[in-house]
Structure 1
């Protein structure tokens, strides 16, 4: 007669489960508390501005004309520029690390990418302001002269081409690359070895194997990593506060001077009081919900994708 096997957790396992459960619930409780605090402080601004808070471009607490539309527009534009630059580079870097680099180079590059995530955003902002800006201005002029027929690269006569949303997006992309590359790399590593070897055994090239096996397997991870990077870019504060004049506006002239983001505007106007402070809290609430929705969507996409399933030992 076979003896039944009972999976009885040890005391250490039970203690570890309790600790991790408490930690997870603490994070959730903290998010809820932050959300309720922002809602509580934002209510006076909503009472003054009404629904116009979401449709007004300018933000002027003195006149009571407070709106988040211009700030939200700049936030989304800078984040999309950052993701548009970072994602292709992240995919190529992850592919090189997982499928082309040797063991020694792979370890070095993995550590280097992780190290980039530890650099303070202030240093990225200072680097972009003092070093990158003089080089981006001629490049922006070249884009305007040669690709000005495309609306996003068009500029007006005599326009100033520094401290633009384009420059801010490029600098923020450097902060997005580490997290996006790490997520995509972890997904590519989990590609079933049997499928990769089968593609090579059938006479496929290395690139053919990557194109037909690795990229389809990691599609969900690429999308999820991109959206996590988007969430990172949406909340960037210090760098954009240094690189943008923080003047809310809606424009398609992305190469020109101007623009503002929610986080950068809050950082530059943190000394406000009264209804102005309530307006900043309301803008922070919008950013909080927008970023939370972005990260939640990324988690859902990753969990429903094939990425990570069927890994061969």
Structure 2
């Protein structure tokens, strides 16, 4: 019986090729990871460099100055920062419970023939461009709120003690409340999709065991599903928050674009992204342009801080869960 023998160098050559391919793959994926970090640092540094004139003139006080006067070259970021945070907070207050309801309906309550169409509708909402939301908000939502909702809100809720100032104001339709509502509609598909996917990862045996012990559907949701998916749910919420903080066109249409610092949700305001989008083409002086670029750097910082807080919360929760 004749056996075919390979040259002694064949295994060595294959090992060398495998080692080279492994090194090439390692360098390739390392470069991809470094590309993200370099791009992030380059974007932040370029905005910081572009806004250096504003920071040199106004210093760190640029962050809490409420002035915005292109004629006198007097600028501050307080009003846009305030508008950005308030509209994003309103969006979360509205979107989180609605998203939770949608996800729970699709995973626990809805019959199978309903889950497909509703899930497809959610994905379709996520794919609609933001400018469409803005146009719909301006031509449909704003007139409806101005005629039917905000007059009642001003008359009844605006007279309440302590919180009345939030709901008092002229029923213009444009304002931070409207912007927050539009943002909520925009981020609901993202948050609800994440929640739905993580709810589906809950082992069926856990829920069946709870039902076998006599738990109701509500108790199963609060005592089994939510504790099991808590970290992922919070991650999905902060994903929606990141989208809300950086949204531009939809907010620009309905926010009112007024550099006005007010606690009323019915009055026009401004946000960082809307300010940059509206005024960048009109910046007719180096200081004006530098202040707008500085606003971009501030938005970067705000988003970074929010996402950092989210990561720290998730890490702390993971420690408590023993992971």
- Give the TM-score normalised by structure 1: 0.87
1:1-313 to structure 2, matched below 5 A, reads: 19-137=28-146, 138-148=148-158, 149=160, 150-156=163-169, 159-256=170-267, 258-271=268-281, 272=283, 273-302=285-314, 305=317
Q: Aligned partners of 2:46, 2:192: CA distance in 1, in Å? A: 34
**Computing the radius of gyration over CA atoms, which structure comes out larger, 1 or 2?**
2
Could you tell me how far apart the structure 2 residues matched to 1:204 and 1:10 are? Answer: 56
Distance 1:114 1:14 in 2: 40
Long gaps (5+) in structure 1: 1-8
- Greater Cα offset, 54-63 or 36-45: 54-63
Deviation at 1:201? Answer: 1.0
Please give the alpha-carbon distance, in whole angstroms, between the structure 2 residues aligned to 1:303 and 1:189. 23
Structure having the higher helix fraction is 2
1:195–1:246 CA distance, 2 compared to 1 (3 A): same
The alignment covers a number of residue pairs equal to 298
Aligned partners of 1:107, 1:15: CA distance in 2, in Å?
A: 43
Gaps in structure 2 of 5+ consecutive residues: 1-17
Distance 2:216 2:243 in 1: 36
1:160 and 1:276 mapped to 2: Cα distance?
A: 32
For residues 17 and 75 of structure 1, the distance between their equivalents in structure 2, rounded to whole angstroms, comes to: 41
For residues 126-161 of structure 1, what are the alpha-carbon distances to aligned partners after superposition, in whole Å with 9 as ceiling and x for unaligned?
0000011111122111122222213354324xx243
- Partner SS for 1:269: helix
User: RMSD of the alignment, in Å?
Assistant: 2.4
Q: 1:106 to 1:302 in 2, by over 3 A?
A: farther
- Sort the Cα spacing of 1:68 and 1:151 in 2 relative to 1 into closer, same or farther, 3 A: same
